[in-house]
C-alpha cells in the first residue's frame, strides 16, 4: 500500500491534493512525468501527472478533480489510508533548458502539472510568465506557488470572479503581441490546449502541451493512449505525454476521451446508488 | 488405486483409442468465462497414459523445450502413483498446470511421439495428462517438497514475471539463490495473466503457481517498471544484485498503419485482452475497468491471440464475430485446436480478405473497407502470397475491430540500458545456449530475445539462462 500522508481539498468536494509515500518513484521522478494509481484491488489504472515530488521525504503529490468513480474512490481515501498500487515514474520528462522567455499556461487542475515544469523553467534561467485560468475563482489552484516562481502571473476566470474576465487565450494574445516569446507550455483541458496551440501557431511560437488520454498499462503495451501527432500515431505513455501542440490532432483526442462515456456514467451511478 | 490398467498387456494397451478431453458445451461456454477444458477422470488419464509404449530412447523428451521426463511421469500415472508423477513434472517445470493447457504440444512432444507416427494412430495426449496431474496436485494441496540448499548469499534480479522470468526465478531459488522478481503490473504472471483469457487458463491457476514460487523464497516487487522505476545498472551497482535476467516479453502491439485506426472502437488485441483478462473488465462494473462490448466485431489476424480476442468478444455478448485474414485457414498461424474451438463457439471466418481502411462517423467505427485476395506464388515464408482481387473492395460492417497482427519488442527498457546490443527488430541479442547478453552480468530470454514465440519456448530460454546464471554465481567466468 502507498500511504497518504497529507490530504487537502483545494476546492471543496471538487479538487483534491494527496501527498503519498512512494520513495522509489520520488527518487526517480522528473517534472512532466506521470504515475498510474489504483485505488483498490478491483480498481482501474488511472494516469495522473505528478504535481510535486519531495525526494528527501520520499513522497509524491497528485492533484485531481473528482469526475468519475475512480476519482471519487481516490477522494474517499483518508490520511493514513492509501492506494493499493502506484507505478511510475512513467513517460518522458519535460525538456527543460534556458529558452529565454517562456509563457506557462495552466487551466483547471492542469496548473498542478504545470507548476513543477514552470519551476524547472525558472531554475534553468528563463523569464517565466504564467497565465492561470479556471471556470471560477473557487477552482483556482496554486496561485501562491505559481506567483513565487513566475516573473509575472496573470489570472483569468471564465465568469470574471477573479482576475481577467475571459479565457487564458485572451491574455496570451496580448503577451504575444507585446513581446518576443520563445516557448509556450500549455497544460489543461483539451479545448484550452487546442486554442492555445491555434493561437501560438499564428505567432509561430513553439508550443508544448501535456496530454492525458485514456491508458491501461502506461508502458507502451496496449496502445490505448494513441494520439495523432503530425499525422502519425504516437503513444502518449512512452512517446509523450508532452508533444508539439502545433502537431497534435486535438479533435481526435477529445473524441477518444469519450470512448467509455456511457460505461463511466454507469459505473459512477452504481457506486452512488450503493451509497444511498 | 486402479491397478487394472497397469496389468494390461501391450496388445491391450495398443488397442486403447486416444481419450478425448472433456469440454464444456460450445453453446454454453460461449456465454461465460469458465474454462473450456474439464480435464480427465483418473480412469481416462490412466487409459491415456497406458497408450505410451515407454520407448527406450524417447523422442518426446527431445521435443520438449524443458526436457520433461515424459515416459516417466506417464508411467507413474499408469501405476497409480500420482505423487511420483507430479514430482517428475516438478523436476523440470514450475508451471505444469499452465503448460498442460497452453503449450502447442502438437508441434513439440506429441509431434515426436512414436505412437502417433504409426498410420491411423494418434500420439499420446501428453498435454492433457500434464494438466490432469497438475490439477490433481493443486486440488489436493500437494506441495512441491523439494529441499532447498543453504542460502548462497547471491542476489538475482528477474525482470518480468512471465513464463521466462518465472522459470528463471524458480530454478535459481531451488539452487539457494536470493531471487527478486520485478513486475511492472500490479499482479504477477505476465502474458499468462494479461494475454491468455480465463476460459483457456483460469487465473487462479496462475496465482497458485506464483504462490508456489513465493513458497520457494522468491520475492516479487509489483508496480516496478525496470527502465523507469529502477534501472538495470542501479540493480547491479547500487542494490547489490549479482546477476540480472531480462524477460520483459514482446509487449509493443503492431498496428496496421491504414487510415481510420484512431477511431473509437479500434483496439489492439493487447489492450482488449488486458482490459478483460488482467483488469477483469468482463466483470464490469464490479471491477472498475470498462470495455466496449461490440455487437458486430471484426478481428484482424488469425493467430492464437486473434482467436483469444474473438472468443472473448463472443463472451462479452457480441452478436457476430468475424476473423478477417488475408490468407486461408491452412496458412493461419493459430493452433488448430484454437481455430476449432473458435469455430465451434460461433466465430465466423472471412479468409482471403484484407483490410484497407477503417470507416466511421463522428469518430466512431462503423465498418472496415476490405478487399478480397487470392493466393499466388509462395513468398519468402514458404506460404502462398495473397494478391488482391481487382475491384473486390467492400465494407464489412462492425462497431468493434481488434487488431491481432503480432507484437514487437518494447523499447522501454532497452532504450535506457547501456551496453545491451539489439538486433534489427529491437530484440535483445542473447547467446542461444546461455542467454548471456552483450552486457556483463545480464542475461535475457523469452520474447524479448525470441521475438514472438510460445510460453514453453520462453520457459526453455529461461531454463538455459538459469543454468548459466547459476554457473556464473558459482565462480564460472563471464
The strand pairing partners of B167, in sequence order, are: none
Strand B37-39, strand B22-23: pairing: antiparallel
Q: How far apart are CA B357 and CA B261, in angstroms?
A: 8
Q: What are the C-alpha distances in Å from B445 to residues A134, B42, B430?
A: 51, 36, 7
Instruction: Tell me what pLDDT residue B293 has.
Output: 85
Task: Tell me whether B230 touches chain A (CB under 8 Å).
Answer: yes
ipTM, two decimals, is 0.92
pLDDT at B145 over 80: no
pLDDT digits (tens, 9 = 90+) for A116-133: 999 999 999 999 999 999
Task: Tell me whether A234 touches chain B (CB under 8 Å).
Answer: no
- Annotate chain B with three-state secondary structure: CCCCCCCCCHHHHHCCCCCCCEECCHHHHCCCCCCCEEECCHHHHHHHHHCCCCCCCCHHHHCCCCCCCHHHHHHHHHHCCHHHHHHHHHHHCCCHHHHHHHCCHHHCHHHHCHHHHCCCCCCCCHHHHHHHHHHHHHHCCCCCCCCCCCCCCCEEEEECCCHHHHHHHHHHHHCCCEEEEECCCCCCCCHHHHCCCCCCCCHHHHHHHHHHHHHCCCEEECCCCECCCECHHHHHHCCCCCEEEECCCCCEECCCCCCCCCCECEEEHHHHHHHHHHCCHHHCCCCCCCCCCCCEEEEECCCHHHHHHHHHHHHCCCCEEEEECCCCHHHCCCCHHHHHHHHHHCCEEECCEEEEEEEEECCEEEEEEEEEEEEEEECCCCCEEEEECCCCCEEEECCEEEECCCEECCHHHHCCCCCCCECCCCCECCCCCCCECCCCCEEECCHHHHCCCCHHHHHHHHHHHHHHHHHHHCCCCC
Using a CB-CB distance cutoff of 8 angstroms, which residues of chain A are in contact with residue B280?
A: 42
CATH class assigned to B3-139:
mainly alpha
Strand A2-11, strand A15-21: pairing: antiparallel
Q: How far apart are CA A122 and CA B183, in angstroms?
A: 37
Residue indicated by cell numbers 524547472:
A120
A and B: number of Cβ contacts within 8 A = 117
Q: Which residue of B has its CA nearest to A26?
A: B229
pTM across the whole model: 0.91
Q: Which residue of A has its CA nearest to B273?
A: A222
Residue span(s) of chain B under CATH 1.10.1060.10 come to 3-139
Interface test with A, best of B223, B224, B404, B411 (most A CBs within 10 A): B223
Instruction: Tell me what pLDDT residue A140 has.
Output: 92
Which whole number is the average pLDDT over B208-224?
Answer: 93
pLDDT at B294 over 60: yes
CATH class assigned to B155-246+409-473:
alpha beta
Q: What are the C-alpha distances in Å from B342 to residues A41, A266, B295?
A: 31, 31, 17
Q: How far apart are CA B218 and CA B166, in angstroms?
A: 10
Which whole number is the average pLDDT over A186-198?
Answer: 96
Strand order in the sheet with A85-90: A46-49, A34-38, A85-90
| A88, A224, A264 member nearest B228 (Cβ) | A88
Task: Tell me whether B184 touches chain A (CB under 8 Å).
Answer: yes
| B253, B286, B362 member nearest A42 (Cβ) | B286
Residue span(s) of chain B under CATH 3.50.50.60 come to 155-246+409-473, 253-407
Which whole number is the average pLDDT over A157-184?
Answer: 94
Q: How far apart are CA A249 and CA A230, in angstroms?
A: 8
Task: Tell me whether B222 touches chain A (CB under 8 Å).
Answer: yes
Cell of A10: 483545494
Name residues whose C-beta falls within 8 Å of residue A272's C-beta, 6 or more positions apart in sequence: none
Which whole number is the average pLDDT over A221-248?
Answer: 94
Q: Report residue B151's pLDDT band, with 50, 70 and 90 as the boundaries.
A: very high
Q: Which residue of B has its CA nearest to A224?
A: B271
Q: Do A217 and B274 touch (CB under 8 A)?
A: yes
| A28, A38, A221 member nearest B228 (Cβ) | A28
Task: Tell me whether B182 touches chain A (CB under 8 Å).
Answer: no
Whether the bond between B280 and the residue before it is cis, its omega within 30 degrees of 0, is: no
Positive/negative CA dihedral, A97, A103, A107, A112:
positive
pLDDT digits (tens, 9 = 90+) for B434-467: 999 999 999 999 999 988 788 888 988 998 999 9
B32 sits in the region (left: phi over 0; alpha: psi -120 to 50; else beta) called: beta
Interface test with A, best of B290, B300, B316, B409 (most A CBs within 10 A): B290
User: b/e for B61-72, b at 16 or more Cβ within 10 A?
Assistant: bebbbbebbbbb
A-facing residues of B in 350-369 (CB < 8 A) are 362-363
Task: Count Cα neighbours of B140 within 13 Å in the Cβ-side half-sphere.
Answer: 11
The total number of residues shown for chain A amounts to 276
Question: How close, in Å, is residue A38 to chain B by CA atoms?
Answer: 9
Instruction: Tell me what pLDDT residue B2 has.
Output: 45
* Chain centroid to CA B87: 23
Instruction: Tell me what pLDDT residue A275 has.
Output: 60
Lowest mean pLDDT among A29-38, A233-242, B91-100: B91-100
* Chain centroid to CA A65: 10
pLDDT at B1 over 60: no
**Average of per-residue pLDDT values in chain B:** 92
Which whole number is the average pLDDT over B290-306?
Answer: 95
Q: Report residue B308's pLDDT band, with 50, 70 and 90 as the boundaries.
A: very high
Question: How close, in Å, is residue A119 to chain B by CA atoms?
Answer: 23
Name residues whose C-beta falls within 8 Å of residue B127's C-beta, 6 or more positions apart in sequence: B99, B100, B101, B103, B105, B109, B110
Q: Report residue B138's pLDDT band, with 50, 70 and 90 as the boundaries.
A: very high
Check if the beta carbon of residue B292 is closer than 8 Å to that of residue B273.
no
Which whole number is the average pLDDT over A71-97?
Answer: 95
Task: Return the axis-axis angle of helices A250-257 and A190-202, rounded to nearest 10°.
Answer: 180
Q: How far apart are CA B143 and CA B132, in angstroms?
A: 16
| B285, B286, B412 member nearest A219 (Cβ) | B412
Is the model more confident about B274 or about B104? B274
Instruction: Tell me what pLDDT residue A133 has.
Output: 94
Is the model more confident about B350 or about B384? B350
Residue indicated by cell numbers 517562456:
A102
* B253-407 CATH pick, 2.60.40.10, 3.50.50.60, 1.10.10.10, 1.20.58.220: 3.50.50.60
Q: Report residue B104's pLDDT band, with 50, 70 and 90 as the boundaries.
A: confident
Question: How close, in Å, is residue A217 to chain B by CA atoms?
Answer: 8
The strand pairing partners of A85, in sequence order, are: A38
Using a CB-CB distance cutoff of 8 angstroms, which residues of chain A are in contact with residue B251?
A: 219-221
Percent of chain B's residues with pLDDT above 70: 99
Question: How close, in Å, is residue A161 to chain B by CA atoms?
Answer: 36
Which whole number is the average pLDDT over B384-392?
Answer: 93
Count of other CB atoms within 10 angstroms of residue A123:
13
Task: Tell me whether A257 touches chain B (CB under 8 Å).
Answer: no
Cell of B28: 454454453
Q: Report residue A274's pLDDT band, with 50, 70 and 90 as the boundaries.
A: confident
Q: How far apart are CA A150 and CA A115, in angstroms?
A: 10
Task: Tell me whether B305 touches chain A (CB under 8 Å).
Answer: no
Which whole number is the average pLDDT over B62-81?
Answer: 93
Using a CB-CB distance cutoff of 8 angstroms, which residues of chain B are in contact with residue A220?
A: 251-252, 410-412
DSSP string, chain A: -EEEEEEEEEETTTEEEEEEE-HHHHHH--TT-EEEEESSTTPPPEEEE-SEEETTTTEEEEEEE--SHHHHHHHHPPBTBEESEEEEEESPPP-----SEEEEEEETTHHHHHHHHHHHHHHTT-EEEEEEEESSGGG---HHHHHHT-SEEEEEETTSSSSEES-HHHHHHHHHHHS--SEEEEESSHHHHHHHHHHHHHTT--EEEE-----SSSSSSS-TTEEEETTEEEEHHHH-SEEETTTB-HHHHHHHHTTTHHHHHHHHHHHHHHH-
Nearest alpha carbon to residue B169 among B463, B442, B418, B412: B463
| B251, B252, B288 member nearest A69 (Cβ) | B288
Q: Report residue B347's pLDDT band, with 50, 70 and 90 as the boundaries.
A: very high
Q: Which domains does chain A have, with CATH numbers?
A: 2-90 (2.40.30.10), 94-210 (3.40.50.80), 211-276 (no CATH)
| B185, B253, B264 member nearest A259 (Cβ) | B264
pLDDT digits (tens, 9 = 90+) for B2-58: 457 888 888 888 889 999 888 999 988 998 889 898 999 999 999 999 999 999 999
Task: Tell me whether A70 touches chain B (CB under 8 Å).
Answer: yes
Cell of A169: 487565450
Name residues whose C-beta falls within 8 Å of residue A148's C-beta, 6 or more positions apart in sequence: none
A-facing residues of B in 387-416 (CB < 8 A) are 410-412
Amino acid at each position: 500500500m502507498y500511504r497518504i500522508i497529507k490530504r487537502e481539498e483545494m476546492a471543496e468536494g471538487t479538487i483534491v491534493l494527496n501527498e503519498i509515500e512512494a520513495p522509489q518513484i520520488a527518487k526517480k521522478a522528473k517534472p512532466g512525468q506521470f504515475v498510474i494509481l489504483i485505488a483498490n484491488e478491483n480498481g482501474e489504472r488511472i494516469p495522473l501527472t505528478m504535481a510535486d515530488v519531495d525526494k528527501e521525504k520520499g513522497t509524491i503529490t497528485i492533484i485531481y478533480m473528482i469526475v468519475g468513480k475512480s476519482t471519487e474512490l481516490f477522494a474517499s481515501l483518508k490520511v493514513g489510508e492509501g492506494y493499493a498500487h502506484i507505478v511510475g515514474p512513467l513517460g518522458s520528462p519535460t525538456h527543460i533548458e534556458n529558452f529565454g522567455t517562456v509563457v506557462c499556461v495552466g487551466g483547471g487542475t492542469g496548473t498542478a502539472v504545470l507548476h513543477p515544469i514552470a519551476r524547472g523553467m525558472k531554475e534553468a534561467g528563463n523569464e517565466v510568465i504564467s497565465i492561470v485560468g479556471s471556470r471560477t475563482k473557487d477552482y483556482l489552484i496554486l496561485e501562491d506557488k505559481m506567483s513565487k516562481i513566475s516573473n509575472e502571473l496573470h489570472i483569468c476566470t471564465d465568469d470574471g470572479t477573479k482576475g481577467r474576465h475571459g479565457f487564458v487565450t485572451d491574455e496570451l494574445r496580448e503577451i504575444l503581441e507585446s513581446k518576443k516569446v520563445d516557448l509556450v507550455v500549455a497544460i489543461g483541458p483539451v479545448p484550452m490546449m487546442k486554442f492555445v496551440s491555434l493561437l501560438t501557431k499564428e505567432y509561430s511560437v513553439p508550443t508544448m502541451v501535456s496530454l492525458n488520454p485514456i491508458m491501461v498499462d502506461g508502458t507502451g503495451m496496449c496502445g490505448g493512449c494513441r494520439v495523432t501527432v503530425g499525422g502519425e500515431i504516437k503513444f502518449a505513455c512512452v512517446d509523450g505525454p508532452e508533444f508539439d501542440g502545433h502537431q497534435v490532432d486535438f479533435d481526435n483526442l477529445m473524441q477518444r476521451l469519450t470512448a467509455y462515456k456511457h460505461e463511466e456514467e454507469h459505473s459512477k451511478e452504481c457506486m452512488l446508488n450503493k451509497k444511498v | 488405486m486402479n491397478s487394472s490398467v497397469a496389468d494390461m498387456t501391450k496388445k491391450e494397451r495398443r488397442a486403447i483409442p486416444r481419450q478425448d478431453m472433456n469440454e464444456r458445451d460450445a453453446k454454453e461456454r460461449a456465454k461465460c468465462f469458465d474454462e473450456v477444458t474439464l480435464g480427465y477422470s483418473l480412469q481416462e488419464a490412466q487409459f491415456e497414459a497406458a497408450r505410451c509404449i515407454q520407448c527406450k530412447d524417447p523422442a518426446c523428451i527431445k521435443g520438449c523445450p524443458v526436457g520433461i521426463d515424459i515416459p516417466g511421469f506417464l508411467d507413474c500415472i499408469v501405476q497409480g502413483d500420482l505423487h511420483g508423477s507430479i514430482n517428475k513434472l516438478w523436476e523440470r517445470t514450475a508451471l505444469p498446470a499452465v503448460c498442460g493447457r497452453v503449450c502447442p504440444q502438437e508441434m513439440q512432444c506429441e509431434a515426436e511421439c512414436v505412437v502417433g507416427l504409426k498410420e491411423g494412430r494418434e500420439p499420446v495426449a501428453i498435454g492433457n495428462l500434464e494438466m490432469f496431474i497438475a490439477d490433481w496436485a493443486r486440488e489436493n494441496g500437494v506441495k512441491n517438497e523439494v529441499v532447498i540448499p543453504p542460502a548462497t548469499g547471491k542476489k538475482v534480479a528477474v525482470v518480468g514475471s512471465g513464463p521466462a522470468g518465472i522459470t528463471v526465478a524458480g530454478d535459481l531459488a531451488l539452487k539457494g539463490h536470493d531471487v527478486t522478481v520485478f513486475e511492472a503490473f500490479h499482479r504477477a504472471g505476465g502474458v499468462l495473466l494479461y494475454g491468455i483469457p480465463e476460459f483457456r487458463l483460469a487465473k487462479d491457476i496462475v496465482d497458485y503457481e506464483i504462490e508456489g514460487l513465493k513458497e520457494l523464497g522468491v520475492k516479487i516487487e509489483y508496480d516496478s517498471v525496470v527502465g523507469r522505476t529502477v534501472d538495470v545498472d542501479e540493480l547491479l551497482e547500487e542494490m547489490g544484485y549479482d546477476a540480472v535476467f531480462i524477460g520483459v516479453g514482446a509487449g509493443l502491439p503492431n498496428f496496421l498503419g491504414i487510415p481510420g485506426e484512431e477511431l473509437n472502437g479500434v483496439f489492439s488485441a493487447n489492450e482488449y485482452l488486458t482490459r478483460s483478462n488482467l483488469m477483469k473488465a468482463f466483470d464490469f462494473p464490479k471491477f472498475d475497468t470498462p470495455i466496449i462490448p461490440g455487437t458486430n466485431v471484426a478481428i484482424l489476424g488469425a493467430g492464437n491471440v486473434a482467436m483469444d480476442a474473438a472468443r472473448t468478444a463472443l463472451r462479452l455478448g457480441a452478436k457476430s464475430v468475424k476473423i478477417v485474414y488475408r490468407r486461408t485457414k491452412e496458412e493461419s498461424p493459430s493452433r488448430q485446436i484454437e481455430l476449432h474451438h473458435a469455430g465451434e463457439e460461433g466465430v465466423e471466418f472471412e479468409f482471403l480478405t484484407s483490410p484497407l481502411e477503417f470507416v466511421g462517423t463522428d469518430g466512431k467505427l462503423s465498418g472496415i473497407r476490405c478487399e478480397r485476395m487470392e493466393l499466388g506464388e509462395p513468398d519468402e515464408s514458404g506460404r502462398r502470397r495473397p494478391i488482391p482481387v481487382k475491384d473486390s473492395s467492400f465494407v464489412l460492417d462492425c462497431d468493434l475491430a481488434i487488431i491481432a497482427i503480432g507484437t514487437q519488442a518494447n523499447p522501454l527498457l532497452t532504450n535506457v540500458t547501456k551496453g545491451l546490443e539489439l538486433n534489427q527488430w529491437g530484440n535483445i541479442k542473447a547467446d542461444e545456449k546461455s542467454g548471456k547478453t552483450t552486457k556483463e552480468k545480464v542475461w535475457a530470454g523469452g520474447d524479448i530475445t525470441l521475438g514472438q514465440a510460445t510460453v514453453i519456448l520462453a520457459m526453455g530460454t529461461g531454463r538455459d539462462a538459469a543454468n548459466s546464471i547459476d554457473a556464473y554465481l558459482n565462480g564460472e567466468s563471464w
